[in-house]
């Protein structure tokens, strides 16, 4: 036998004078695991507490194997732990990570997760706040000024929208200031870049923070680049619209 020959294992035994030779042939075809393409939520990715969202996992299998689905949720409850479609019911406010494992009949598997949310009956409300008057801004410095809110925000309230209004004194074109609003969650939203603009901020919508928790400290962040004229910020007002 040459080294280049394929080595085959043979089992030889005798039964009643009959010689039987059994050899191991080529290996079986390789199994292809299933692939989950998406988890869809209907009618939305969020639901009222004690109502439900329908979750459907879509998967394909190159070998046309029979597929099974197993679900798990970090919070809330699922109508079933198996099947390509289940219903998730939130039992508390907040985010939940739902995961599904898809397996074929040859033990191939794929996993996907989706974040869904539970919320209480949405009630809209608002709260106003303001900073201290005439906050001094020295040259080349950053100043943080807290907003004093005039009412208590519910613990589970989230931002629907927020508007801010302030100005700088003296109100001369060419101020070397930039102003941010800092949310309780730490998001910094630029509301004014006064390098070449009028230093007035009038009812500017705070963008990109919808859905953040609104309970906690709101702050105004003011950065002043070097300038020969001393400036200060007048009182800054904020209107926060929230739901919970």
190-206 pLDDT, tens digit per residue, is 888 876 566 567 788 98
d(CA 53, CA 39): 12
pLDDT at residue number 3: 39
* CATH code assigned to 124-243: 2.60.120.260
* CATH code assigned to 35-119: 2.60.40.10
- State the DSSP string of 134-153: SEEE-TTEEEEEE-EESSPP
pLDDT at residue number 244: 73
Q: Is 25 exposed, middle or buried (0-12, 13-18, 19+ CB in 10 A)?
A: exposed
Q: What averages of pLDDT result for each successive group of 10 residues across the chain (244 residues)?
A: 39 40 52 95 89 95 94 96 96 92 94 90 83 73 89 84 79 65 92 69 86 89 72 80 83
pLDDT at residue number 166: 79
CA-nearest of 82, 78, 36, 75 to 54 is 78
Tell me the backbone φ, ψ of residue 95, rounded to 5 degrees.
-85, 150
Number of other CB atoms surrounding residue 68 within 10 Å: 16
Domain limits, CATH 2.60.40.10, in the chain: 35-119
pLDDT at residue number 200: 67
153-176 pLDDT, tens digit per residue, is 887 788 889 999 877 665 554 467
Domain limits, CATH 2.60.120.260, in the chain: 124-243
Number of other CB atoms surrounding residue 42 within 10 Å: 12
């Amino acid at each position: 036998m040459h080294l280049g020959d394929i080595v085959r294992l043979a089992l030889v035994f005798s039964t009643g004078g009959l010689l039987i030779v059994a050899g191991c042939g080529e290996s079986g075809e390789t199994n292809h695991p299933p692939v989950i393409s998406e988890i869809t939520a209907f009618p939305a990715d969020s639901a009222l507490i004690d109502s439900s969202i329908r979750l459907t996992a879509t998967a394909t299998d190159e070998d046309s194997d029979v597929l099974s689905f197993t679900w798990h949720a970090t919070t809330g409850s699922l109508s079933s732990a198996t099947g390509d479609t289940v219903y998730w019911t939130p039992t508390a406010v907040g985010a939940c990570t739902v995961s599904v494992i898809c397996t074929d009949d040859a033990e191939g598997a794929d996993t996907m997760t989706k974040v869904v949310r539970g919320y209480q009956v949405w009630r809209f409300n608002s709260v106003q706040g303001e900073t201290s008057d005439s906050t001094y801004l020295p040259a080349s410095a950053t100043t943080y000024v807290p907003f004093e809110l005039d009412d208590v925000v519910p613990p589970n309230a989230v931002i629907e929208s927020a508007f801010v209004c302030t100005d700088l004194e003296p109100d001369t074109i060419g101020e070397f200031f930039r102003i941010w609003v800092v949310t309780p969650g730490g998001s910094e939203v630029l509301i004014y870049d006064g390098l070449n603009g009028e230093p007035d901020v009038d009812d500017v919508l705070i963008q990109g923070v919808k859905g953040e928790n609104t309970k906690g400290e709101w702050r105004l962040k003011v950065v002043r680049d070097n300038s020969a004229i001393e400036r200060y910020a007048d009182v800054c007002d904020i209107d926060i619209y929230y739901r919970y």
